[in-house]
Structure 1
Amino acid sequence: MAYFLQLSDVHLVAPGKKLYGTVDSTSLLRDLLDRLADAELAPSAVLVTGDVGDHGDAQAYRTARTLIESYAGRTGCPVIWVNGNHDEIESFRSHILDGGVIDRVEHVDGVRLIVLDSTVPGASHGLLTPDQLDWLRTVLAGPVEPTLLLMHHPPLRCPLPGLDRDMLRNRADLAELLEGSGVSMVVTGHTHYAGAGVCGGVPVWVGGSTAAYTDVVPPRQRARTADYGSFSRIDLIDGEAVAVSIPCQQMDTVLDFQAIIDGTIDKDLLAEIGIPARADEKDRR
């Protein structure tokens, strides 16, 4: 079973600057990676799905690469980088990919990862060119295998009217290619909220931003960005993709679920929760 950690829209800025003038996106990323290191996870890869830098600053890219690749190095997994609309393409290629190509295919733990550049220079919305669609058609014409398609812009509608125009605009073209392709999931970012949908019969996952949250139920319907970050875990289990959004912030424990699994939880608490004890737990008591 392969699983992946998805970090999206980290929006690192130049040294001494803050995102939106208030958010220390670098510290947020560093704290998250420290938390992940403490969790002693063993992901197949870290997927970074765009907007690595907020304005294409070279030092911001170097910092992102140092922090994320250092974490990945400790876990022994690769980092798969995808660019977003905030990324300056040449700076991204130079400082993140060492001059390599963005549209590519990689294989990790038996999973094919297809990376596509969905950006339009100078624009917020996404678009796949005819050449990219032809390339993807050729890739998908091969043998069916567990596959994640990675790109920044979701091929979905957006529940916020003001942002709907900034999604992938030719999603119908992509849907035609995905129909019957065997792709397990399309993995995206961009919106700063976690969400899901379907394109061409394939599940689409939208990973939230580690730096900030686009509020989809804002107070008094006033559009806003809030100080809440999230990342995602994506598992492929027997060929089926499952995605979960996880808050970046540390959380207090309200129930030690491991104690239930281990059978060491107090039986009165177990009864209060309403979970029947397993036979072997009853025997131990």
Structure 2
Amino acid sequence: MPITHTRELDSTPNLTMLFGKAVLTGFSKHGDSLPSTVYSRDGVVVDPAHLSAYNKVCGFRLTDELPITYPHILSFPLQVKLMTDADFPFPLVGSVHLANRITQLQPLRADAPIRLRVHVEDLRAHPKGHQFDMVTEAFVAGNLVWQSVSTYLRRNGSSGSSSTGPELITRQPRAIWHIPDDIGRRYADVAGDRNPIHLHPLTAKLFGFPRAIAHGMWTKARCLAAFEGRLPEAYTVEVRFKTPVLLPSKAAFATTHTADTWTFDLFNARTTKPHLTGTITPP
């Protein structure tokens, strides 16, 4: 898909207004091509209080370096703006986050102004609908230092889980995490992602879930927090989201280290169904 034009933003898009727009107008959307727009914002400065709140809810330590998942939060308003534009072919509400890959080329410090760019690409068929990639890039002093690719599914037909019976996890967990029923609301307060499937059982049921579910990017961040102190300055971490983490929940976390690669799984501690599988490799 050719990228034809860039729209520079001088402020952070208002997520409250954008989510309201998504609810009011999004369900009438339909189309067969992705927009060529690139949204960009320069001079993004990290708020120390916001970073501290993010670290706390995800389990990271408080340091001057940004967690590898934090730029996703900074860029999320730009992503939502793109996905709620009139020329975006799919509704925001009901889109399923299938996978996310982040590459960090060097650590990002909290005091370094960041330039963010987002665009979408690679619309393709999926057995349950269509999928596409949301690409986000972060630059410091003109140099690309961070990139994320999030793959989303827009289902044909009813919403809900995209799982088709994943294999059970058989290896022994290194930890058991008790995930509280309010983690969706707490993460939403920090991340701004107020998708109704994460906030309350009643709103989650409207989209086919028996209870509210945890954000996929919270589960990824929580897993990476367990690796703190063991990872290099530059690496790629890729996860595939399997089954939702229903709230509250008891989840098991397992890891394996071979040569320069980590693999990890988060799965239901009772049924052993996987919530996500991931790998950490050199960039």
TM-score w.r.t. the length of structure 1 is 0.26
Larger radius of gyration, structure 1 or 2?
Answer: 1
TM-score w.r.t. the length of structure 2 is 0.26
Which of the pair is proportionally richer in helix?
1
